[in-house]
């Protein structure tokens, strides 16, 4: 009986370590995705800003546990004029869906900070459009524009 309980304790200890390391790896993957998304938004907004005066424009990226499904939600909060935000939101959603990741993403949220206008698109709907966008399909931006649900 003692031998069985020692084996059980060893098994539980190893299982605990594996679960802890998996949790750490998942947090690292989410953190890397968030950093890649921040870099991508900085790059895209910089090129957009070169065309227009963009004083005070910014994008804040959050990745958090979804309330609507199993996985994470990506949330992008933009401070920029509403017209530019409305035009840029589909591109931001496409870029968000195009970043490689190894965890479940449920929704992409796009928020205009000044008006609190929120757009949402399911990640599973955005990902195939993002693939076509990366391949150069000009219709992808228009398709994403139609896919975003505004609240």
- Kindly report, residue by residue over 65-112, the tens digit of the pLDDT: 999 999 999 999 999 999 999 999 999 999 999 999 989 999 999 999
Q: Could you tell me the pLDDT band of residue 45, with boundaries at 50, 70 and 90?
A: confident
Return the sign of the alpha-carbon dihedral for residues 135, 59, 120, 100. Answer: positive
66 or 56, which is more confident: 66
Cα torsion 19, 66, 124, 77 to 10°: value is: -120
* Domain extent listing, the chain: 30-150
H-helix or E-strand spanning residue 109:
strand 105-112
Rounded distance between C-alpha atoms, residue 142 and residue 8, angstroms = 57
Contact 66, 75 (CB under 8 A): no
**What's the rounded Cα separation, in Å, for the pair 118 and 43?**
22
Give the C-alpha separation, 20 to 7, whole Å: 20
Mean pLDDT of 104-127: 97
**Share above pLDDT 70 across residues of the chain, in percent, rounded to a whole number:** 81
């Amino acid at each position: 009986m003692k031998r069985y309980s020692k084996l059980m304790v060893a098994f539980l200890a190893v299982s605990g370590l594996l679960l802890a390391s998996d949790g750490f790896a998942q947090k690292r993957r989410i953190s890397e995705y968030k950093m890649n998304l921040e870099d991508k938004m900085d790059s895209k907004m910089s090129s957009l800003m070169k065309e227009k005066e963009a004083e005070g424009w910014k994008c804040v990226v959050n990745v958090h546990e979804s309330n609507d499904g199993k996985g994470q939600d990506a949330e992008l909060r933009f401070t920029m004029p509403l017209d530019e935000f409305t035009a840029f939101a589909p591109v931001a959603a496409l870029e968000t869906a195009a970043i490689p990741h190894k965890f479940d993403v449920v929704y992409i949220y796009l928020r205009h900070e000044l008006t609190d206008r929120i757009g949402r698109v399911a990640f599973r709907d955005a990902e195939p459009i993002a693939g076509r966008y990366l391949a150069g399909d000009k219709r992808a931006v228009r398709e994403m524009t139609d896919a975003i649900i505004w609240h």
